[in-house]
């Protein structure tokens, strides 16, 4: 398996859901997410019950079976974080490619801001987006004129120090995946 595959492969997280992302960081992230509200609706979720429900709507893709010899059809623990952020886009077929590009740029900015302040992040698109979108709309959290498209949730938190990196919350075992390189070996932040 080549080095890039190991470095950027699908990861699993055991976020410490007992902690809260500080208001100062949430405010900074909110300001960044508001950069173009005519294109998307920033949604910040911290309700533990709703986050657990979203997690229950997830599944790890079958493609992981090719890189994890002990693959089990299961849920995506990257969704179990104290803060989930999503930027559902306003419907617009003529601007679709540009919208995806712009939301990706903002997602990257949000994740790097959180990392620079000592938080860990994850991105998860392995959830039933129609089911989750409909529920968020029913709850009045997500507007009717926006959709997920192919957008992920950004999760922010800290890994539980008592759990190994490959801990699978849904089945309660350590699923050792590809070796994870230390970020300093492939990420440079200035």
| pLDDT value of position 179 | 60
Which of these, 104, 33, 98, 67, lies nearest to 178 by C-alpha position? 67
Rounded to whole angstroms, the Cα distance separating 121 from 38 reads 26
Rounded to whole angstroms, the Cα distance separating 151 from 161 reads 29
DSSP string, 1-62: --HHHHHHS-----B-TTS---HHHHHHHHHHHGGGTTTB--EEE--HHHHHHHHHTB---G
| pLDDT value of position 63 | 55
Query: What is the average per-residue pLDDT within 35-52?
Result: 90
Q: What are phi and psi of 155, to 5 degrees?
A: -105, 140
Domains of the chain, each with CATH number or no CATH: 3-185 (3.40.109.10)
* CA distances in angstroms from 128 to 51, 58, 143, 183, listed in the order given: 13, 6, 18, 30
Rounded to whole angstroms, the Cα distance separating 33 from 31 reads 5
pLDDT digits (tens, 9 = 90+) for 170-187: 677 776 655 656 667 766
Query: What is the average per-residue pLDDT within 128-135?
Result: 92
Please say whether the beta carbons of 70 and 175 come within 8 A.
yes
pTM exceeding the 0.75 threshold for the entire prediction: yes
**Cα 49 to the chain's mean position, in Å?**
17
Confidence check: pLDDT of 92 > 70: no
**Which position has the higher pLDDT, 118 or 70?**
118
């Amino acid at each position: 398996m080549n080095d890039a595959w190991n470095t950027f492969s699908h990861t699993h997280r055991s976020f410490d859901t007992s902690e809260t992302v500080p208001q100062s960081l949430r405010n900074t992230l909110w300001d960044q997410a508001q950069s173009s509200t005519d294109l998307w609706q920033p949604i910040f979720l911290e309700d533990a019950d709703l986050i657990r429900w979203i997690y229950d709507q997830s599944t790890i893709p079958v493609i992981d079976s090719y890189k994890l010899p002990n693959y089990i059809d299961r849920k995506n623990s990257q969704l179990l974080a104290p803060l989930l952020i999503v930027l559902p886009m306003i419907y617009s077929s003529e601007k679709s490619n540009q919208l995806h590009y712009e939301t990706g740029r903002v997602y990257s900015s949000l994740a790097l801001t959180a990392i620079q302040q000592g938080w860990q992040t994850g991105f998860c698109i392995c959830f039933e987006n129609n089911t989750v979108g409909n529920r968020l709309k029913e709850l009045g959290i997500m507007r009717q004129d926006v959709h997920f498209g192919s957008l992920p949730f950004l999760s922010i938190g800290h890994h539980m120090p008592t759990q190994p990196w490959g801990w699978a919350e849904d089945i309660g075992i350590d699923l050792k995946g590809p070796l994870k390189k230390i970020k300093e070996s492939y990420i440079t932040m200035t």
